[in-house]
Amino acid sequence: MTGPDLGRDLEAIGRRLSPRLGQPYDAVVGRATASVGGGARWPRPGRLGGAVGTLAVAAAFGTLLAVGVATRPGPDAPVDRGPSVAMATTTPGVPASTDPPGAGEATPVPGGGRVATAPAATTVAPTRPGPPPSEGPVLTLPAPPGQGPQPTAAPPAAATPGGTPMPAQTPPPSQAASTMPPRFAASATAPARARVVLSEKDSGRTVTVHPGDVVEVDLSSPRDTSHWTVPSSTDETVVSPGSGNTRSDGSARAVFTTPGRTGSADLQASRLPACASATPRCLPPQRVDFRVTIVVA
Amino acid sequence: MSITAAVAGMSSGTAEATFEAVFADAYHRVVGLVAAVTGDQGLAEDAAQEGFARAYQRWSRVGRLDRPDLWVARVASRIAIDQWRRRRRETALDGADRVTIPDDVQRLWVRWQLERLSPMQRASILLHCWEGRPVAEVATLLGRSQATVRTHLLMGRRRFRGFVHEDESR
């Protein structure tokens, strides 16, 4: 056996253990950006998607606002310079007739000048009708029984305040694929999985999830000197462990997947006293301090 | 895209493009390496992702290394070994967190006779044999002295004579 053989073996093992690239890539970027306080260290034009339009509108608005402020008549300059902030309503593509009554209207002031009575934002907002862009499946809080978290890849409908269902806006497949690097494009078409995050406060609860969902257990650092063990599953055929670790501050985290078999399993972990890791060790009684029943249905 | 080409393209391309290229090229190997070092599938994915996340945060520096994938492999291996030690302490106490070693990792261990070695010894041997890295570089990668790494390789050599590179002084 040679080095290249070993390299191929290692790659084959890695491909089997973690077959997809898109999901871990997103996890890596999420971890990296979360631990530095949010925000990638470089612009990500390929992934911004609809945000580019939002930024463009914001930039245009900022420019117009700056112009308006710069041309706003001062207290000692009674001149008619025309609309200031209200100029935002004349942005190309924004019909003036969409303005609500009074919004952006210029009020005459003594001396002949005019002052905008409403910020331009109130006139720009109606030009973007419809629901906000759909977001990708990220973190989902546990839902009540019978309303388990659904994958957000294709929500069926979104209700308006008046109760009339409207078709949810989802980007067309070609647009969704174009925001992903080509290398990971295959994973963009994979079915989205809901993610349920549990903490120690959820101990004792029963949570219903769907096959394919991801369950994450995040046990925060105990206030005393004890530390959590890595959460485990009582039935790995129903809820199988993906990854898990403990941290030096005593907290623990584990990610479980539901491979598809229905049934129930308990996720449980224990808190061990500090002496359990000391020398000589103490032998604390075995007990379960965290237990959540997961029902896969 | 090869890693070398990806890193060379940093001046012209975006930093994220090179990171994505290195990630796509090396992620599976790093997961496989860490799994082979610790035998723990969960640790392998978690440590590999943590390694890449740290590389992402330092990409202005890591991306200019000759082999950023080896930097990630080193970080991921050390994270996994630390976690493995911590978990072993806990497992020894309550016996609840037994790790099932994947079959293909078992087969690799049997082929390379790595079963009875410690994770650090496995990491030394795998990095040395996989990439043909010199002892000095493996020692640097793992944060150990060259003498320690030579000892690990010697123990490995006794087990699978002929597999380890003959020139230990490299």
pTM: 0.42
**What's the confidence (pLDDT) of residue A265?**
92
Top mean-pLDDT range of A82-86, B86-90, B108-112:
B108-112
Higher pLDDT, A77 or A228: A228
Residue A148 predicted with pLDDT over 50: no
Q: How far is A231 from chain B (nearest CA, A)?
A: 8
Token match 């992903």: residue? A180
**What's the confidence (pLDDT) of residue A188?**
43
Residue B128 has a CB neighbour count (10 Å cut-off) of 27
pLDDT mean across residues, chain A: 61
Residue B81 predicted with pLDDT over 80: yes
**What's the confidence (pLDDT) of residue A93?**
39
Q: A221, A277, A223, A226: which is closest to A252 by C-alpha?
A: A221
State the SS3 of B147-169: HHHHHHHHHHHHHCCCCCCCCCC
**What's the confidence (pLDDT) of residue B121?**
82
Residue B167 predicted with pLDDT over 70: no
Q: Give the CA radius of gyration of chain A.
A: 28
**What's the confidence (pLDDT) of residue A109?**
39
DSSP E strands in chain B: the ranges are: none
Q: What is the ipTM of this complex?
A: 0.73
Least confident of A54-63, B70-79, B148-157: A54-63
Q: How far is B68 from chain A (nearest CA, A)?
A: 15
Residue A164 predicted with pLDDT over 90: no
Residue B11 predicted with pLDDT over 70: no
**What's the confidence (pLDDT) of residue B91?**
58
Question: Would you say the C-alpha torsion B114, B115, B117, B119 has a positive or negative sign?
Answer: positive
**What's the confidence (pLDDT) of residue A270?**
87
Over residues A13-53, the pLDDT tens digits come to 888 877 777 777 877 877 777 655 444 444 443 443 444 44
Are A142 and A204 in contact, with CB atoms under 8 Å apart?
no
- Tell me how far apart the alpha carbons of residues B135 and A24 are, in angstroms, rounded to a whole number: 31
> What band does B102 get if pLDDT is binned at 50, 70 and 90?
confident
- Tell me how far apart the alpha carbons of residues B115 and B107 are, in angstroms, rounded to a whole number: 10
What is the average pLDDT across A116-132? 36
> What band does A63 get if pLDDT is binned at 50, 70 and 90?
low
Which residues of chain A lie closer than 8 angstroms to B93, CB-CB? 272, 276, 281, 283-284
Tokens of A78: 């009674």
β-partners of residue A253 are: A218, A245
Give the residue from B18, B22, B43, B45 with the most A CB atoms within 10 Å of its CB, the best one to mutate. Answer: B45
Give the residue from A42, A47, A239, A243 with the most B CB atoms within 10 Å of its CB, the best one to mutate. Answer: A243
Are B15 and B23 in contact, with CB atoms under 8 Å apart?
no
Q: How far is A268 from chain B (nearest CA, A)?
A: 10
Token match 């930039």: residue? A59
Which residues of chain A lie closer than 8 angstroms to B43, CB-CB? 243, 245
Least confident of A240-249, A275-284, B36-45, B72-81: A275-284
Token match 């890791």: residue? A277
Residue A116 predicted with pLDDT over 60: no
Q: How far, in Å, are A44, A147, A189, A233, B48 from residue A244 at the CA level? A: 30, 27, 27, 11, 13
β-partners of residue A252 are: A219, A246
Which residues of chain B lie closer than 8 angstroms to A277, CB-CB? 89-90
Residue A292 predicted with pLDDT over 80: yes
Q: Determine the 3-state secondary structure of A182 from DSSP.
A: helix
Residue A256's φ and ψ, nearest 5 degrees, are -120, 150
Are B76 and B10 in contact, with CB atoms under 8 Å apart?
no
Higher pLDDT, A175 or A241: A241
**What's the confidence (pLDDT) of residue A293?**
93
- Tell me how far apart the alpha carbons of residues B20 and B67 are, in angstroms, rounded to a whole number: 14
Are B48 and B27 in contact, with CB atoms under 8 Å apart?
yes
Residue A274 predicted with pLDDT over 50: yes
Over residues A96-113, the pLDDT tens digits come to 333 334 433 344 434 444
Are B64 and B7 in contact, with CB atoms under 8 Å apart?
yes
pLDDT > 90: percent of chain A: 5
Cross-chain Cβ contact A17/B53 below 8 Å: no
The one-letter amino acid code at B15 reads A
Of A7, A21, A41, Cβ closest to residue B27: A21
Q: What angle do CA A254, A257, A263 make, to 5 degrees?
A: 115
Which residues of chain B lie closer than 8 angstroms to A271, CB-CB? none
DSSP E strands in A82-233: the ranges are: 106-108, 114-116, 158-159, 165-166, 195-198, 206-209, 214-219, 227-228, 232-233
pLDDT > 70: percent of chain A: 41
Residue A85 predicted with pLDDT over 60: no
> What band does A267 get if pLDDT is binned at 50, 70 and 90?
very high
What is the average pLDDT across A173-198? 54
**What's the confidence (pLDDT) of residue A163?**
39
